[in-house]
Amino acid sequence: MPTLADPSTLAALAAARRLLDRARDDAVTLRGDVGALADATDWHARATDGYRAGVSSLSDSLARLERLIDAADADLAAAASTLSRAPDGAASLALSGWW
- For the whole model, what pTM was predicted? 0.65
What are the residue ranges spanned by the domains of the chain? 7-85
Q: What is the pLDDT of residues 30-66, one digit of tens each?
A: 989 888 887 777 766 666 777 778 888 898 999 999 9
Band (pLDDT 50/70/90 cuts) for residue 20 is: very high
Name which residue leads in pLDDT, 4 or 42. Answer: 42
Cβ burial 43-78 (10 Å sphere, 16+ → b, else e): eeeeeeeeeeeebeebbeebeebbebbebbbebbee
CB 28, CB 66: distance < 8 Å: yes
